[in-house]
A and B are shown apart, each in its own frame.
Chain A
Amino acid sequence: MNWLKNFVRPRFPSVFRDHDDTPDNLWQSCKQCGEMIFHRDLALLQHVCPGCDHHMRVGARERFSQLFDDGAFETIEVPDVPHDPLKFKDQKRYADRLRDARNKTGDRDAVQVALGKIQGRKSVIAVQDFQFMGGSLGMAAGEAVGTAGPTALGNNAPLIMVAAAGGARMQEGILSLMQMPRTTVIVQQLRERGLPYIVVLTDPTTGGVTASYGMLGDIQIAEPGALIGFAGPRVIQDTIKEKLPEGFQRAEYLLEHGMIDMVVHRHKLPETLGRVLGLLMGRPAPETQTA
């Protein structure tokens, strides 16, 4: 049924990536309020609905251009990792899923890393793209965080982690679980060097990502309405057989329960990050004075 679609799929600029990429999809309706938005406006609006402020998902490159000054950044290459170490196959081979995700996104895996300036300050940003197999944390994502950390250390720069994931990449079995302690060590290295590590939780971030680097930020920021938790709402519902409270596991709910520092509108994110970094790094080390 879909061989034709796969074969003729055209390459679009990153703006389209998160959405149904058929050529006639010039208008997109907001999932929350139904408002129709023209695709060119969507990019200008940074994928925030003008009707209801719903924050839609955005890919890595678009996120980089939103956060870095003048949309300028240098992509940091992430070393390749062993692919499909378990030779995993469910209803589909993992190797095929990987290939499809790569074709769909044009990326090697879920986490991309870039270096640039945020409000004039040299910073490293890692973005986890939900479009790539649900952003899942596998060896490649671990390697990307393991590249972002040393890049920040090498540049004496803070690391901003824009997280989004359904959880660990099950197709890599225990090796995906092991990315949790692995990335935790990276966070520790930044901490020991006194470099800020700031997490921006986006919709949705659950599972192994929140249970490791996703919750270890010096400052925890979340986008409005983002679903954030350890267990997914369905798992909880199936376990306790009770109705979940209104707004459960949403960014605002976490804020109220003391689990994050702030909920920040996407349009205010660069300014907020710049200010926070300025304060945390307010007493510059000798190296940064001349930079």
Chain B
Amino acid sequence: MQTYLEFEKPIAELEGKIHELRSVGQTEGAVDIFEEIQKLEVKVADQVERLYKNLDAWQKTQVARHPARPHCMDYIETLVEDFTPLAGDRLYSEDYAVIAGLGRWQGQAVAILGHEKGSNTQSRLKHNFGMARPEGYRKAIRIMDMAERFNLPVVTLVDTAGAYPGIGAEERGQSEAIARCTDKCLQLGVPFVSVIIGEGGSGGALALATASRILMLEHSIYTVASPEACASILWRSSEHANTAATALKVTAQDLEKLGVIDRILTEPVGGAHRDRAQMMSDVGLAVAGELAKLASLSPQELRDTRRQKYLDMGRSGIV
């Protein structure tokens, strides 16, 4: 069953009509019904294109969170050969919110890390909706350490509302784990490419996204605080999330202008969820291309340029 976002109501209505006509057409088989369907399909395509051309920040937030959007595991299953998942932080436990492993990206051996939100009730619970605990970040540190020892590039797929706010997570040092993970990202002497595939939520996203090259899908978001959290603090009501999303400048287009990300990957018309295969294939090629560009740099150059990039954040790049 297709999920429609609130702003997609006109699309939902048209597609609903098409669906009705189809079931009538099957029993009656009239030619004019098929013509009507064709007309409506053109209208739908037109409507989708128009709506998605002008999404505002809040609409993009909803698209970024769309349940049918390809998630971390979808990309891995589609793009990565010989994927070998690796588990555990060797300190406390496994964290299913963070996927880690080795595999081949377009033929090249890499280490892969990403947040997985899950795609049905059961898997969402298992992956804690993509909200990692300290163990997830400590596992990421362990994998990055290993990647460096074996000279493997690191690819991260970022998609989280944020790190999990819970008692255990705090007791086991959520903030320290995030700080160390970011610290590790900035020390890596191997090529490191990050893709924000959906939601880049605050420090929990940053810990896996402090890369040499940061790519963002066209309708993904990356933000210091979720629009809802920001609204409830600054507007004293989460109902102003729409306004907050605009004010926070969370879209890929905003972030490119601010010089925080390096490249936007165009989504299929109507969003990644309308053509998952195309989206994943585009990400596969784009990441491989970025890795190739970084391949000629020495470990020291990789480290130095990445650090300089972040030392300059907030000093330049503001138009």
A residues lining the B interface (CB < 8 Å): 81-82, 85-86, 88-91, 138-139, 142-143, 146, 168, 170-182, 184-188, 206-208, 210-216, 229-231, 235-236, 239-240, 242, 244-245, 248-249, 257-259
Contacts and interface: CB of A to CB of B under 8 A. Distances in A.
Interface string B175-214: 1101110110111000000000000001100110010000
A98 B236 CA distance: 19
Contacts of A81: 314-315
Contacts of B12: none
26 contacts: A81-B315, A82-B318, A86-B249, A90-B235, A91-B234, A142-B313, A168-B225, A170-B230, A171-B234, A173-B223, A174-B250, A175-B260, A180-B203, A180-B206, A181-B182, A184-B183, A188-B187, A208-B202, A208-B203, A210-B175, A212-B179, A230-B165, A231-B169, A236-B165, A236-B166, A236-B170
A86 B247 contact: yes
Given A180-B203, A181-B185, A230-B175, A175 B310 contact: no
Interface in B240-267: 244, 247-250, 254-255, 258, 260
Among A210, A257, A258, chain B packs the most CB atoms within 10 A around the CB of A210
B170 A89 contact: no
A182 B258 contact: no
A248 B170 contact: yes
Among B178, B187, B314, chain A packs the most CB atoms within 10 A around the CB of B314
B165 A239 contact: yes
A259 B310 CA distance: 27
Contacts of B165: 230-231, 235-236, 239-240
Contacts of A139: 314-315
Nearest to A91: B235
Contacts of B85: none
Contacts of B236: 91
A170 B225 contact: yes
Given A85-B258, A245-B167, A181 B315 contact: no
A242 B167 contact: yes
Contact of B258 (A175, A212, A249): A175
Contacts of B164: 239
Contacts of B186: 181, 184-185, 188
A239 B229 CA distance: 12
Contacts of B178: 211-212, 230
A216 B249 contact: no
Contact of B179 (A206, A216, A239): A216
Among A211, A213, A236, A249, chain B packs the most CB atoms within 10 A around the CB of A211
A182 B248 contact: no
A176 B254 CA distance: 14
B203 A178 contact: no
A213 B318 CA distance: 24
A229 B202 contact: no
Contacts of B235: 90-91
B255 A174 contact: yes
Nearest to A236: B165
Given A170-B248, A211-B203, A146 B311 contact: yes
A210 B183 CA distance: 13
A212 B222 CA distance: 18
A177 B173 contact: no
A182 B206 CA distance: 12
B174 interface: yes
B176 A143 contact: no
Contact of B313 (A175, A207, A215, A245): A175
Given A139-B315, A208-B224, 17 more contacts: A82-B318, A90-B247, A91-B235, A174-B222, A174-B250, A177-B202, A181-B185, A181-B186, A208-B202, A210-B179, A211-B174, A212-B178, A212-B182, A235-B165, A239-B165, A244-B167, A257-B171
A168 B224 contact: yes
B279 interface: no
A146 B169 CA distance: 30
A172 B210 CA distance: 18
B17 interface: no
Nearest to B233: A170
B301 to A, nearest CB: 16
Contacts of B185: 181
B203 A177 contact: yes
Nearest to A186: B311
B276 interface: no
A174 B224 contact: yes
B307 A188 contact: yes
